Structure 1
């Protein structure tokens, strides 16, 4: 009997110890749970604060870029300017981002009309800054030159961009510039004078597409001679001719089953197929052809095309 009582007391002591340990572990577990709840809540609050901060930053940047877009568009010629200058025309100007690196300009110059299209280094915000520099250089160069001298105009723009960016010497770190095509239309003389810096003019004459090639040198870059000259082309304007300038955003766009660039051959064929349509319709058809070719590919660059008919 005594042995049985001793055994029961021993088991009872063991059970009490296990119960005490269990209660201790439970208390520890509950404490750890409380700590985890506090830590989890702290992480959630930190993540929410970070999200709010990023959202505020994104909204601020987006507002600034959209405001910059309004500024960039304000320096572009109005549709009325273009309509007064030509019998028919279209302007397709599609920045890849909200702002872009392509720029066009049109206005009176002496007894004629100057129209040009430029493609600046980059796209987005950097490209947009370059367009303002380019427009400033054009506006600065025009008053000092004889109207219609587009070759010297481009030469001066090259010089002004180089000096503005410090690319005419060893100072500065940038190496930026642009490609540009410039047409001077004299309706009284029925002449079109063209000069291009790595920029070509396409002329549709009945069923033929002519490509008037620009000089194979850009504008403003460090490697360009400060006194670089640009070839001048004089054309007689025909009633049934249409004239086109395009940035390389369309030509270089990747697409199709073989993922090749759109290319000049396809562009010339496209011009031939749309040339007899009204200019406003041509713009839509060119944009649709690009979209069909691009398919699911991402847009690589800004896309700009100008078409006009003088008479």
Structure 2
């Protein structure tokens, strides 16, 4: 009888111990859930900030071209970004893919946008004109008025200046010893008077459709950032026609594995899709690309941020 009572007491003690540990686990889980909610709320707020920055870029006054954008972050915030500006008769379009995704990529995207704005301001010539006026009391006088700004740079020069700023900000003095963070991007400047398109690219190509042909211009094989064999970026010039389209995109689409096939989406599939649907509006083309990407991915994990931009001249 004594043995049974001792066993009961031992079982009761173990039960109390388990109950205490269970309560501790529940408390820890509650703390973890609270911290996760706090982190998620913070990232969601960061998403709002990033979205606001993107929208400020997108609605830059004076953009005449019809364009559409498909941006699908892997996580809540994105390391891919777009940047669109108008200076005088020049429309500037950037599609960029920063190192990483999620929060680190998002910080890089904001750094990239900030420095692009700085470089652009350094590349603008503010023009003023002298206008002769006449007043009944004072007679003829002259007045300065602000004229249309002029962009005095090209895509390659902008990328090189952006590279210098990124390297300085990240303290990338030596390729062997510093972090390899950087930005892959396409930068296009369209002259709205002549329809001449200037392009420079860091790991990201330019695709354009003109005269019933889809043409790809390869990018320089180096990022905007530190690189083992740095050189000047190459500038490419193309004369487009009214109604032609050009395309910029990150590698998030072509590197995505499909649920059914287990294969990557690949560049050829993307180019075939573009070529078959150039008659659609930019919004229609973007919607088709988005639908096909989602269909291809299925329930497979999204591997990277996705960005796809269509501009119609």
TM-score by length of 2: 0.85
By how many angstroms is 1:236 displaced?
A: 1.3
Give the one of 60, 69, 73 matched to 2:38: 60
Cα distance change, pair 80–166 in 1 and its aligned pair in 2 (3 A):
closer
Which residue, out of 56, 63, 66, partners 1:88?
A: 66
What does 1:1-311 align with in structure 2 at a 5 Å threshold? 23-78=1-56, 81=59, 84-145=62-123, 147=151, 148-169=153-174, 173-223=178-228, 225=230, 228-255=231-258, 257-310=260-313
2:175–2:227 contact (8 Å) kept in structure 1: no
Q: Give 1:143 deviation, angstroms.
A: 2.0
Secondary structure at 2:84's aligned position in 1? Answer: strand
Q: 1:293 offset after TM fit, Å?
A: 1.9
Asked whether the 8 Å contact 1:244–1:307 carries over to 2, the reply is: yes
Alignment CA distance shift 1:121-1:80 (3 Å)? closer
| d(CA) in 2 for partners of 1:77, 1:197 | 24
User: CA 1:175–1:307 in 2, change beyond 3 Å: closer, same or farther?
Assistant: same
Contact 2:62–2:86 (CA under 8 A) maintained in structure 1: no
Secondary structure of 1:185's match? Answer: strand
| Cα offset, 1:168, TM superposition | 2.3
RMSD: 2.0
Separation (CA, whole Å) in 2 of partners of 1:244 and 1:192: 12
Q: Distance in 2 between matches of 1:266 and 1:244?
A: 15
| The 10-residue stretch of structure 1 (91-100 or 146-155) with the greater mean CA deviation from structure 2 | 146-155
Between the two proteins, the alignment pairs up a number of residues equal to 286
Based on CA coordinates, which of the two structures has the bigger radius of gyration? 1
Q: Normalising by structure 1, report the TM-score.
A: 0.86
State the 1:206 CA deviation: 4.8
Instruction: Kindly indicate whether the alpha-carbon contact (under 8 Å) linking 1:77 and 1:106 is maintained by their aligned counterparts in 2.
Output: no
What stretches of structure 2 of length at least 5 have no aligned partner? 125-150
Mapped to 1, the partners of 2:163 and 2:51 lie a distance apart of: 23
Q: Distance in 2 between matches of 1:223 and 1:77?
A: 35
**More helix by percentage:** 1
